[in-house]
Structure 1
Amino acid sequence: MTATATEKSTPASDVLHDYLGRLRSGDMGALPSVLALIALSAVFWVARPVFISQGNFANLFTQGAAIAVIAMGLIFVLLLGEIDLSAGFTSGVCAAVLAVLLTDQGWPWYAAVGVSLLVGVGIGLCVGAVVVKIGIPSFVVTLAAFLALQGVALKIMDNGRNISIHDGTILAIANKNVPPALGWVLWAVLVAGFAAIQYRKYLARTRLGLVGETGAVVIARVAIVAAVTAVAVLVLNGERSRNPELHSLKGMPIVVPLIAVLLLVGTFVLNRTEFGRHIYAVGGNAEAARRAGIAVDRIRITAFVLCSTMAAVGGLIAASRANSVDPNTGGSDVLLTAVGAAVIGGTSLFGGRGRMRDAVLGAAVVAVINNGMGLMGYSAGTKFVVTGFVLLLAAGVDALSRRRTRQQG
């Protein structure tokens, strides 16, 4: 006889007990990054109250957008226990291709974006093929690609030319806002989609007779997500202009729903598809995955392709925010910050553990550090020191949690 839904559900107290048990066993998840985000925000709020202003809140999204997207792509590679040091300059090269096609060649924006993304796919395919088929460590291959792509970017831009972007559609991505009413519509769609996913998961576990969460826990999770995102939309829809009579500035930046869509798609791919399950399997134990019949080589190459493609999207966002592309686009600290964002968010450098949300959370931490310390007048050097310390702390938490997991069996 089939058990009822009530018999299969776990009381809320048991859910909390299970969560605490996972923490004790070393599965920290996103907790460290969330606590860091709250603590840093509180410190900067006290030090500089303007940190929580509507204008600065919107700036945080645009400042961390490109890093978040590049970090999302790196998640696929990091889950395999690999690294892609070329992701930063991949974004730069793709942005350069976009700028040349738009400004010099006069192409329409959709064609230029398509070619730019194809360049990202090609770079990822080449890097992945060399790593997988020849067997050279990804660190060496992507370091070589890092240097080569830097040269390619210089060649595309005539050894240092700055190319301005004038296309209104591209510039709008990081510089324009969604109308307030449309922002609420997008919020409703997001919450409804999240609720549907949670309800589907709840029903699936119930029908299979698996012990799951109570309906109250599921509803509480949806309510929390709805409340947090509603506050964000409410703040972003407020007037941010100092002279609203001359120029009104309301609504969430267009880049926010773009990141939300990429986050939802990436999360679906990792959590709900066969490819995603194979990514985790290969990252956990490649030989066991091969013996189980998983096409390990194909999975690894595809991960590098996805990483470079997302880097191309990140380059597009960076070009939009800067209104131009120069040889430094994708260079400087872009790569290290993106890798740091993924690790700070909770993705393991040892492979097999991480989620797409880690990129967004980690990028938020990095953006808060840069923004808050900038408001407090600290130099770029101090920002790098603090960010490096946070990254080291995150890597230490990861190492300790994995050791704790092994001890717990």
Structure 2
Amino acid sequence: METTYAGAPATYPIAPARRFLRQLGVDTQYVLLGFPLGLLTIVLCMTGFALGLGTMIIWIGVPILAGSLAMSRGFAHLERLRINPVLRRRVPHPRYRTTKATSWIGKMFAPIADGQSWLDLVHGIFRFIPSTIAFCFTFTWWVGALAGLTYPLYDWALPHVPDNQELPELLGFPDTAAVRIVFNLAIGLFFAITLFPVVRGSALLEAQFARGLLSGVGELRRQVAEANAARDVAQEQKAAAVSAEATALRKLERDIHDGPQQRLVRLAMDLGRAEQQFAHDPEAARATVAEALTQTRETLDELRALSRGIAPPILVDRGLQAALTALAGRCTVPVDLDAPVVERLDPAVESAAYFVVAEALTNVAKHSHATEVQVSVQRNATGLLITVADDGVGGASLAKGHGLAGLDDRVKAAGGVLAVESPDGAGTRLTAALPL
């Protein structure tokens, strides 16, 4: 089993027994040291607060109160460092109110207007309560365990009443010394067995009290900020998905209008002409029908190509590597494909990766004037990294109005990021990262 402690440079293995004893030592020193610190902070913080509040009417209490808040902030910072190994995680440091004032008066009023500074002062005044409770339990259990387990070593030095022979005979022991030793050993064994959970619970009681006052508000603010950031990202992904869908529909409509629709119009005209020719020129009618059959096959080929752009069957049936191989084979520019076979990914990720490569190769074939393009698809611990690089004229951009804008929206809709490096005359390198 591996465990990482705060401040450790790397993860290293610790045996369960050693980890158990280490945590017991950490919790014990935390509680035993917390008791005198609690005494010190309650005296200093309470004195400073009472003195500052009492002399506030003559204004001398303002600097005293500000100094008390600054002092409590120092004790709070020390406590945050102490509770890290107890909670087995790093407690975040909250943000304190800052001021732009340059005068000493403005700087003096900054801690008084800061809510976290007052929470630090509250902790300094009331931390003695959980510290005392934790200290009493921890000290009692350690003394009970050590005194009970080592009782046979000092029983001879303790004064005892004259032996009562009836009790030993009743219990089956030869004399009362054995009764005392066994009884105290049993007590020591009880305290030793229950030592870790009691000390651990005492340390957590004191540490969680400190965490709630010293970092709870800061953690809550951070969680709210993260939730807001996640909401913004979700809204951006939603907008990108809507934009990508609209772009794909417009492209599909344009492709159908420019391709199959025109061919179907011509097919209808050819069939109408053949119908008129059958009456007076059957040979011309047959030639027209043959040409119509050719138009039908070409229309079917275009419809199949469009269907591959919507949902390529090879991607669904055989996976991303096979689909990219077929895509590279159809490209008019030679493609050097590096896409190792991996296990099947989420369909949304595979679809997004396929369309990134498909759109990139389409742009390379239409605009880059490249002689070669390299495609790499690699999976790492966090996601899928797709790179498409060509040796063309460059000048590609993700700005609206360019060919890659819709691709950028599609990648964002999948939760990924897209980057393009395309200096003029130096080729284009497109990189997309998709989360798994």
Q: Same fold (TM over 0.5)?
A: no
Which TM-score applies when normalising by structure 2?
0.20
Which has the larger helix fraction?
Answer: 1
Which has the larger strand fraction?
Answer: 2
Flag the structure with larger Rg.
Answer: 2
- Highest relative contact order (Cα 8 Å, sep 6+), 1 or 2? 1
